């Protein structure tokens, strides 16, 4: 289904096309993603009386909001943004595209191309294991960064109080016993978010 074809369709024709395509999702995920992307972007679901895209797809097509979101993001990333040939995208398949998509979303163009090539060439089992290994390495790297941060903090505090680590834990317990825990949780959450953003930026 070409872009010109969908652009010339009325809202009702687009709604009908989605219903016809969803029954064979694996064969039609590109066309379905394109239609849903246009409906979401232009807020055509308002024509049907829905305030949210998620409510629209779930009520009208019995399609989960999360699946509709994956269809839209798959079309937007691989077809619209990366401009990969539709035949090539279809040969990779919807399920395999979902496997590599998280690895690509923050990557540069070279890395994205490498992942597409892997999805084309590697057997599904090998691709899944490869992604699992990459995620494990990333998790270990994050843990290493946290360990470094903890050690630097502990050295600083032990030096400041001139005490052992056990004694430091006691002093911290005294400090926190009457603290506003809700406020501390809020501060920690924000600082952790910043730490993780900085860590991710350093990797890239």
- Residue 115 sits in the same domain as residue 168: no
Collapsing DSSP to helix, strand or coil, 5 comes out as: helix
At residue 141, does pLDDT exceed 80? no
- Residue 197 sits in the same domain as residue 101: no
> Stretch 30-54: mean pLDDT, rounded?
93
Long-range CB contact pairs, 35-44, < 8 A, 24+: 35/1, 35/6, 36/68, 36/71, 36/72, 36/75, 37/72, 37/75, 37/76, 37/80, 38/6, 38/7, 38/14, 39/14, 39/15, 40/72, 44/11, 44/14, 44/15
Is the dihedral angle over the CA atoms 180, 186, 189, 194 positive or is it negative? Answer: negative
Beta-carbon contacts of residue 90 (< 8 Å; ≥ 6 apart): 29, 30
Q: Which domain holds residue 159?
A: 135-203
> Stretch 54-76: mean pLDDT, rounded?
93
Closest Cα to residue 201, out of 106, 134, 133?
A: 106
- Residue 26 sits in the same domain as residue 107: yes
With bands split at pLDDT 50, 70 and 90, how would you rate the model's confidence at 2? low
**What pLDDT sits at residue 10?**
83
Burial classification of residue 65, based on how many CB atoms lie within 10 Å of its CB (0-12 exposed, 13-18 middle, 19 or more buried): middle
At residue 45, does pLDDT exceed 80? yes
- Residue 113 sits in the same domain as residue 179: no
Please say which residue of 78, 97, 121 terminates a domain. 121
Residues 55 and 43 sit within 8 Å (Cβ to Cβ): no
């Amino acid at each position: 289904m070409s872009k010109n074809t969908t652009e010339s369709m009325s809202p009702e024709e687009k709604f009908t096309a989605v219903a016809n395509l969803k029954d064979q999702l694996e064969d039609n995920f590109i066309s379905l993603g394109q239609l849903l992307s246009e409906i979401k972007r232009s807020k055509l679901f308002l024509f049907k009386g829905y305030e949210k895209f998620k409510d629209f797809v779930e009520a009208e097509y019995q399609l989960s909001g999360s699946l509709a979101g994956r269809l839209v993001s798959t079309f937007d990333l691989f077809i619209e943004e990366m401009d990969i040939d539709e035949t090539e995208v279809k040969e990779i398949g919807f399920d395999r595209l979902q496997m590599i998509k998280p690895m690509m979303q923050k990557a540069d163009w070279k890395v994205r191309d490498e992942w597409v090539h892997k999805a084309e060439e590697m057997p599904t089992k090998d691709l899944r294991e490869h992604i699992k290994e990459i995620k494990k390495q990333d998790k270990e790297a994050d843990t290493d960064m946290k360990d470094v941060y903890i050690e630097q903090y502990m050295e600083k505090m032990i030096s400041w109080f001139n005490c052992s680590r056990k004694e430091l834990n006691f002093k911290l317990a005294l400090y926190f016993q009457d603290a506003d825990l809700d406020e501390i949780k809020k501060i920690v959450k924000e600082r952790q978010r910043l730490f993780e953003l900085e860590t991710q930026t350093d990797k890239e």
